[in-house]
Structure 1
Amino acid sequence: MSKSKQRTKAPVVSSTAEAFLAEPHVGTLTTLRPDGSPHVVAVRFTWDGDAGVVRVMTVASSRKARNLLATPGSRAAICQVAGFSWVTLEGAGRVSEEPERVAEGVRRYAQRYWSAPPNPPGRVVIEIAVDKVMVLNT
């Protein structure tokens, strides 16, 4: 993401929503296919509230990564649901293979889910620069 498109501050998320997002649930990641139709898949993810960034570990050949690579900066959303509570985090998505970014994604994943993510060839990290937050009952 170029500096001109970077957010200057992270979105405000309540402390109860932050606590909910720290629980080791999965979420649904929505990206848009090249034809504009939504692609929704269950994923493990991490939320960095200080930076306002969601991270998802995947491989470059996955549909979700290819969707974002086809249209850099396109919108993506992650929704975590538990019972009647949910949080959706939405923003511009990007795919990175930069070792430092991938390592940060791995570190946060291991912290949240108590084990390292798979390490297949072609591993990348999807980062969503969150600018919209929707919450119910948290």
Structure 2
Amino acid sequence: MADVRNPTPEYLAFWRERHVCTLTTLRPDGTPHVVPVGVTYDPEAGVARVITGRGTRKVANILAAGPEGARVAVCQMHKARWATLEGRATIRTEPEVVADAVSRYAERYERTPRQNPERVVIEIALDRALGNA
């Protein structure tokens, strides 16, 4: 298990490479909902971020968990390398938080996402990091 706030240089480098990731949330009935997403990882803050639309199922699943947020996992893999970050997700809507997350996404994925007035941030307070990267 890696330290979410002090990852190895290899683990951090893997999270800075351009990879599509998955986000796993739980539906209100307890079944998993897994979707492809872009993820940015900020080990200094112990946070991962996903930008998305306010009306998505993943946002609804997190909101349904209540004000404490929802347990989630984000994962990426490439060939035999893989890395998973786990933690408690909450939804952030403040314009400055959204703008910061968009900037981080643009840096990692080398493209600026289209304008979306309904954009929110899934902010994950990390407490576990796994992988072999």
TM-score normalized by the length of structure 2: 0.92
Rounded Cα–Cα distance in structure 1 between residues aligned with 2:58 and 2:22: 11
Rounded Cα–Cα distance in structure 2 between residues aligned with 1:79 and 1:65: 17
**Runs of 4 or more off by more than 6 Å in structure 1?**
none
Q: CA RMSD in A?
A: 1.4
Identity percentage of aligned residues: 49
Shift of 1:10: 5.2
Whether 2:90 is the aligned partner of 1:94: answer: yes
Structure 2 gaps of 5+ residues are: none
Whether 2:83 is the aligned partner of 1:103: answer: no
TM-score normalized by the length of structure 1: 0.89
Shift of 1:11: 3.3
Shift of 1:15: 1.1
Structure 1 gaps of 5+ residues are: 1-8
Question: What residue in structure 2 maps to residue 14 of structure 1?
Answer: 8
Q: Is the 8 A contact 1:11 1:132 kept in 2?
A: no
Question: What residue in structure 1 maps to residue 61 of structure 2?
Answer: 67
Moved more, 110-119 or 23-32: 110-119
> Alignment length, in residue pairs?
129
Rounded Cα–Cα distance in structure 2 between residues aligned with 1:70 and 1:60: 13
Question: What residue in structure 2 maps to residue 34 of structure 1?
Answer: 28
Whether 2:74 is the aligned partner of 1:78: answer: yes
